[in-house]
Structures are given as structure tokens and as C-alpha cells.
């Protein structure tokens, strides 16, 4: 598996894990958020309901409190006592009194009753006949306590009665009852959209802002209670929260129901918001994972490319090093070969030079023998003249001897100088002495062959770039070849001339021999080209001459001679002032 595939696999696993985590966390977040929103909405609903409850409870108890003390107070009033003392005969007066109290207090009804419960007088005849249902109210009054009881009339009206006994010296004369209706309370409640109701001890709905519920058991109205404080209202199945408050003195319970549908909306909103936030976070997370993967892959590709490049550079460097090494070896081999070649060339030059010397050896030995014989003659003559006492003649002979010795010494010096191994440096060389020496060496042979050597008249002290011995070799070779060419001629002659040209000195060696045929001109400078017999020449003379002249930066040309023979022009560089100073 490649590294790229590994990275992709690893990120695929990361994505799967992240997706699982995302689903789990999102689900939890949605549930929690929905629940929090619902709880928040519920708190608000309950707070509102509790507020309504408190207000309505106060309104209810306020109304009841207003009438609660009325019976005890009125039962002590003298006019009321008088009514009962009179034995109830004057029920007209009692009625008037009841109407008066009713008018003053605003109660629903005011009644005067006999201790046994019979009605003496009422303000409105609300329950003229039967008040047996008010047993609880009367019993308490008879016992000297404040009687109180909620009463439902046959007409459907609900009232609340307070009763107090009318006592005279510990004797119960009658009972005064005041009744309150709840119309104003219910009218206030009807303004509220929340269902509000009061249940009495038996669980009947006694007061409510929903007329249809009146006097019905609360349990029949609310079904499917999901908890003690939550229920569905019958019929429309709307969930409602129930906030209750007990009214202790009355033994009632005040209920305020609140529509809980907004709770579902809040839960849904919370869930949707959490889902959207989770989706956003999920998208951001996916984007970052995607980007991370792309970055990792790119970095890996960059690294791979860098490694490839590094490897390539390493391989190239190694190959270059090897090439370099083999080149160094080759250079070294070439250098050695060149050394050998140079050495061989030098040896060849030397050998060629010695070959020329060998060619000239007979003439040279004659050149030495002839003065030696003359020396012998001159010394014998000197001896004889000495015996005869002719001192002048002795002196003359000795002078001749000295001249001969000088001549031999000069030739010997030239021979020595010529036969020495040449150096390989190039410097300014005075041309005149070189030519003198060359001519001196070839002269004996030329003389022997009957060839005339003629040097052009030029005593200018030219200096050329070259080496003394190698230059001598050039001229000796050329003059020697010319002597060879004219050897058999009637009046063989060799001309040596020097010409100065801009930046070069031209030395010409020409003869009046047969010359060089046209077809041979290109070959004469080739090594081992010769037209001479075996033993007379080996054909390297001109090739060495040409190579020496080129080494000096010069040139050798074959020209046509006006004398009919061959003419070689050696062009040499004029030595610069600095070279001369060095010399
Ligand atoms: P070698 O003298 O041993 O033959 P060179 O290289 O000196 O070798 O000369 C090559 C040939 O050039 C000679 O064999 C000769 O044929 C020709 N040559 C050289 N100089 C002259 C000259 N002055 N006149 C005619 N031919 C010449």
C-alpha cells in the first residue's frame, strides 16, 4: 500500500469516528437543548399562572373577608336583639332590617333565622322555604362560632354564607346569616384566557370562568393526567399545567390552568436550533478534516518530490564524481603519454641532429685534420727557423699556429653547442650568431662538395623568439638539404638571406638545385618522406624543422626560387622588449 493510500485510509477512519461522534453529540445536544427550552418556557408559564393564581386568590379571599365579620357584628347590635326579643312577631320589621343591611353591605342576601333554622325574615326571599342544606352553617352559629358554608341553589347560583348566633344572656335568640355571591369574582376571572376554577372539599367545581364546568366534579373535566400537576382538558385534548393554591379557611382549592402547547413549540424550537448549530459545526468539522487531509497529502507529495530530487542529485553527483575520476585518470594518462611523446620527440630531434652531424662527420673530421696537418708543418718550420735564428719567421709561424688553433676551437665549440640537448624554453635569441654557427658547421661539407655558401649582407642585430640550439638545428638542416640538392650541380650555390618584416624576421635558404616538383611540395614536411637513397636520409629533417619553427610561434613556407632551385622561408617572431630584457 502506498503512503498516499495509507493517509487516505487513516482520514477515512477519522471521518467515520467523527461522524459517529457527531451523530451522538448532536442527538444529545438536540435532546438537551429541547428540554432546556421546554423547561424555560414551562417556568415562564408557571410563573405567569402563579401570578394569576395569587391575584385571583386575593380577590376571592378579599370578597369573603369583607363579609366574614358582618354577622358577628350585627348580631350584637341592639336593633337586631330587639327584633328577636320581640319573639319574631314583627316579621315586617325584621324584613326591613334585612333589606337595610343588604342595602348597606351589598351582600347577596341577609336572613334572620330562628334557632331551629326556620326563616324569620330575608331581604330577597332567596330560600324562603328549605334551608336544611345549610346545616353546617347553622350548627356552628348555634355553637357560638362563626358559621360558614358554600351553598348551591336550585337555580344554579352559588353563594357563600356566614352566620352568627344572636345571643341574649347566654340564650340563643336566633341566627343572623349574610350570603355573598361570586358573580363579581367570576366576572373578573372571565377576563383571563387561562381556565380558573375553585373546587370545594368534595371536588366539585364551585366557581369557574368556564360556565360549563360549574358544579361538575373536577375529575370529569380533566382526563389523562400525565402528572399530579398536568392534565388534558376533556374534549379538545389540550395539555394544560395546573397550578393550585389551597384557601385554608374555606377548605377550597383554587386552580389556574395554563395551556402547555407553547411548551411543545419551545421544545421543537430548541431542538431545531441545536440541530442547526450541530449541522454548522459538523460542516466546519468536515471542512477542517478535508483541508487537513489535503494538506497532509500535499506535504507528503512535496516530501516525496524533494526525496526524488535529492536521490536524483545524489545519483548525478555520484556519476559526475565517477566521470570526474575517470577524466582525472585519463588526463593523467594523457599527461604521461604527452611526457613520453615529448621525451620521444626530444630524443628524435636529438637523434636527427646527431644524424646530420654524422652526415657531416667526414667533412668535419677533414676540417680538423687539415689544420692539424698545417699545425704540424708550421711547428716544424718554426723549429727550423729557430735553429737558423730567424726569429721573425718563427713568430710568423707561431701566429699562424695560433690562428689555426682558434679556428679549431671555434669549430669545436660550435659542434659542442650543436650536439647538446636543447631546452624547451622560448626566449629572445640573437639571430646573427646562430646563423654564423650554422654556417660554420655546414661549411666544411659544402666546401668539400664544391658548393658555395653565400650569406646576404645584413649585420642588423635581430632578435627572434626561439631557442639557440633548436634554431641552429633548423638552419643546419635547411642548408644541409640545399647543399645535398646542389651537390651535383656545375656551380652549386646556396643563399642565406635575412629580411625584416612587420613583427617578423624572415630567413630564406635557397639554392640553384633541381627544386622540388609540384606534386611533392605538400609532402616534404611529412615525417619519413625522403627522395634520398637509404643511408643518405631518413625523411625527418623537414618535419622536425617545421615542428621547431611552430613551437617558436613561427612558420616555414616553401617558395619558388628565382635561381630555379628550392627556397625555404623561415618566419620567426621578433622578440619583444620584455623578452630581451629577460634575456
Ligand atoms: P632527408 O633529407 O633525410 O631526405 P628531409 O625531410 O630533410 O629528409 O627532406 C625531405 C625531402 O625533401 C628530401 O628527400 C628532398 O627530396 C626534399 N628536399 C629537401 N630540401 C630540398 C632542396 N633544397 N631541394 C630539393 N629537394 C629538397
* DSSP collapsed to 3 states, 24-53: HHHHHHHHHHHHHHHHHHHHHHHHHHHHHH
- Ligand 1 proximity of 530 Cβ (cutoff 6 Å): yes
- Ligand 1 proximity of 541 Cβ (cutoff 6 Å): yes
From CA 62, how far away is CA 77, in angstroms rounded? 24
Give mean pLDDT, residues 459-478: 90
Report the nearest atom of ligand 1 relative to the CA of 509.
Answer: 23
The predicted-structure confidence for 551-570, as pLDDT tens digits, reads as follows 999 999 999 888 889 999 99
Find residue 463's DSSP bridge partners.
Answer: 430
**Does the pLDDT of residue 1 top 80, yes or no?**
no
Residues 164 and 176 sit within 8 Å (Cβ to Cβ): yes
Side-chain half-sphere CA neighbours of 171 within 13 A = 7
**Does the pLDDT of residue 219 top 80, yes or no?**
no
**What integer pLDDT is reported at residue 228 of this predicted model?**
39
Mean pLDDT of the chain: 87
**Does the pLDDT of residue 582 top 60, yes or no?**
no
Distance between Cα 210 and ligand 1 center (Å): 154
Find residue 230's DSSP bridge partners.
Answer: 227, 241
Distance between Cα 479 and ligand 1 center (Å): 11
**What integer pLDDT is reported at residue 252 of this predicted model?**
87
Report the nearest atom of ligand 1 relative to the CA of 538.
Answer: 3
- Nearest CA-CA partner of 33 in 43, 25, 44: 25
pTM: 0.51
- Ligand 1 proximity of 566 Cβ (cutoff 6 Å): yes
Neighbours of 54 (CB within 10 A): 14
Residues 368 and 360 sit within 8 Å (Cβ to Cβ): no
Find residue 223's DSSP bridge partners.
Answer: 232
The predicted-structure confidence for 13-55, as pLDDT tens digits, reads as follows 999 999 999 999 999 999 999 999 999 998 998 888 888 888 8
**What integer pLDDT is reported at residue 58 of this predicted model?**
85
**What integer pLDDT is reported at residue 239 of this predicted model?**
65
- Ligand 1 proximity of 539 Cβ (cutoff 6 Å): yes
406 contact partners, CB below 8 Å, separation of at least 6:
none
Per-residue confidence band for 325, with pLDDT thresholds at 50, 70 and 90: very high
541 contact partners, CB below 8 Å, separation of at least 6:
352, 356, 477, 480, 481
Distance between Cα 478 and ligand 1 center (Å): 9
Mutating to test ligand 1, I would choose from 524, 557, 559 the residue with most ligand atoms within 8 A of its C-beta, which is: 524
Distance between Cα 533 and ligand 1 center (Å): 11
Distance between Cα 361 and ligand 1 center (Å): 19
Give mean pLDDT, residues 295-309: 93
Per-residue confidence band for 153, with pLDDT thresholds at 50, 70 and 90: confident
Report the largest interatomic distance among the alpha carbons of the chain, rounded to a whole angstrom.
237
Per-residue confidence band for 548, with pLDDT thresholds at 50, 70 and 90: very high
Residues 563 and 510 sit within 8 Å (Cβ to Cβ): yes
Alpha carbon 114 to its chain's center: 108
Distance between Cα 516 and ligand 1 center (Å): 8
Q: What is the DSSP string of 372-439?
A: HHHHHHHHHHHHHHHHHT-HHHHHHHHHHHHHHHHHHHHHHHHHHHHHSPP-S--EEEEHHHHHHHHH
Mutating to test ligand 1, I would choose from 523, 530, 536 the residue with most ligand atoms within 8 A of its C-beta, which is: 530
Mutating to test ligand 1, I would choose from 542, 556, 557, 568 the residue with most ligand atoms within 8 A of its C-beta, which is: 542
Find residue 121's DSSP bridge partners.
Answer: 112
Amino acid at each position: 500500500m502506498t503512503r498516499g493510500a495509507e493517509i487516505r485510509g487513516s482520514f477515512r477512519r477519522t471521518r467515520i469516528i467523527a461522524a459517529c461522534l457527531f451523530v451522538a453529540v448532536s442527538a444529545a445536544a438536540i435532546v438537551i437543548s429541547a428540554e432546556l427550552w421546554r423547561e424555560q418556557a414551562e417556568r415562564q408559564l408557571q410563573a405567569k399562572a402563579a401570578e394569576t393564581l395569587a391575584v385571583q386568590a386575593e380577590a376571592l379571599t378579599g370578597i369573603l373577608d369583607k363579609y366574614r365579620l358582618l354577622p358577628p357584628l350585627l348580631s350584637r347590635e341592639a336593633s337586631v336583639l330587639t327584633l328577636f326579643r320581640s319573639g319574631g312577631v314583627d316579621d315586617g320589621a325584621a324584613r326591613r332590617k334585612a333589606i337595610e343591611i343588604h342595602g348597606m353591605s351589598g351582600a347577596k342576601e341577609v336572613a334572620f333565622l330562628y334557632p331551629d333554622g326556620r326563616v324569620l325574615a330575608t331581604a330577597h326571599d332567596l330560600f324562603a322555604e328549605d334551608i336544611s342544606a345549610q346545616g353546617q352553617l347553622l350548627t356552628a352559629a348555634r355553637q357560638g362560632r362563626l358559621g360558614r358554608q358554600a351553598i348551591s341553589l336550585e337555580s344554579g347560583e352559588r353563594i357563600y354564607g356566614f352566620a352568627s348566633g344572636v345571643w341574649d344572656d347566654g340564650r340563643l335568640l336566633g341566627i343572623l346569616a349574610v350570603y355573598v355571591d361570586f358573580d363579581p369574582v367570576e366576572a373578573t376571572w372571565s377576563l383571563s384566557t387561562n381556565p380558573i376554577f375553585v373546587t370545594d372539599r368534595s371536588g366539585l367545581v364551585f366557581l369557574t370562568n368556564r360556565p360549563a364546568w360549574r358544579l361538575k366534579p373536577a375529575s370529569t373535566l380533566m382526563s389523562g393526567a400525565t402528572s399530579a400537576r398536568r392534565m388534558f382538558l376533556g374534549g379538545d385534548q389540550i395539555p394544560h399545567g395546573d397550578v393550585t393554591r389551597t384557601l385554608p379557611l374555606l377548605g377550597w382549592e383554587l386552580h389556574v390552568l395554563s395551556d402547555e402547547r407553547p411548551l411543545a413549540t419551545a421544545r421543537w424550537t430548541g431542538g431545531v436550533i441545536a440541530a442547526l448549530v450541530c449541522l454548522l459545526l459538523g460542516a466546519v468539522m468536515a471542512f477542517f478534516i478535508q483541508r487537513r487531509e489535503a494538506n497532509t497529502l500535499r506535504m507528503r507529495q512535496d516530501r516525496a518530490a524533494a526525496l526524488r530530487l535529492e536521490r536524483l542529485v545524489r545519483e548525478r553527483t555520484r556519476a559526475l564524481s565517477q566521470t570526474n575520476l575517470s577524466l582525472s585518470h585519463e588526463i593523467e594518462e594523457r599527461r604521461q603519454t604527452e611526457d613520453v611523446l615529448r621525451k620521444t620527440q626530444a630524443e628524435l630531434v636529438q637523434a636527427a641532429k646527431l644524424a646530420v652531424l654524422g652526415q657531416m662527420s667526414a667533412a668535419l673530421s677533414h676540417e680538423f685534420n687539415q689544420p692539424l696537418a698545417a699545425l704540424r708543418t708550421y711547428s716544424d718550420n718554426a723549429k727550423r727557423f729557430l735553429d737558423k735564428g730567424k726569429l721573425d719567421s718563427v713568430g710568423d709561424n707561431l701566429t699562424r699556429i695560433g690562428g689555426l688553433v682558434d679556428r679549431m676551437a671555434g669549430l669545436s665549440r660550435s659542434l659542442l653547442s650543436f650536439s647538446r640537448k636543447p631546452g624547451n624554453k622560448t626566449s629572445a635569441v640573437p639571430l646573427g650568431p646562430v646563423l654564423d654557427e650554422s654556417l660554420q658547421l655546414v661549411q666544411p661539407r659544402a666546401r668539400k662538395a664544391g658548393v658555395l655558401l653565400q650569406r646576404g649582407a645584413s649585420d642588423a642585430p635581430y632578435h627572434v623568439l626561439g631557442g639557440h640550439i633548436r634554431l641552429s638545428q633548423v638552419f643546419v638542416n635547411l642548408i644541409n638539404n640545399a647543399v645535398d640538392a646542389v651537390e651535383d650541380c656545375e656551380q652549386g650555390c646556396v643563399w642565406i638571406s635575412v629580411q625584416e618584416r612587420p613583427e617578423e624576421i624572415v630567413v630564406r635558404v635557397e639554392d640553384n638545385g633541381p627544386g622540388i616538383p609540384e606534386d611533392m611540395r605538400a609532402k616534404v614536411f611529412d615525417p619519413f618522406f625522403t627522395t634520398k637513397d637509404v643511408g643518405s636520409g631518413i625523411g625527418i629533417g623537414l618535419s622536425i624543422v617545421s615542428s621547431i619553427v611552430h613551437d617558436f610561434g613561427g612558420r616555414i613556407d616553401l617558395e619558388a626560387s628565382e635561381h630555379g632551385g628550392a627556397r625555404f622561408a623561415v618566419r620567426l617572431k621578433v622578440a619583444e622588449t620584455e623578452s630581451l630584457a629577460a634575456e
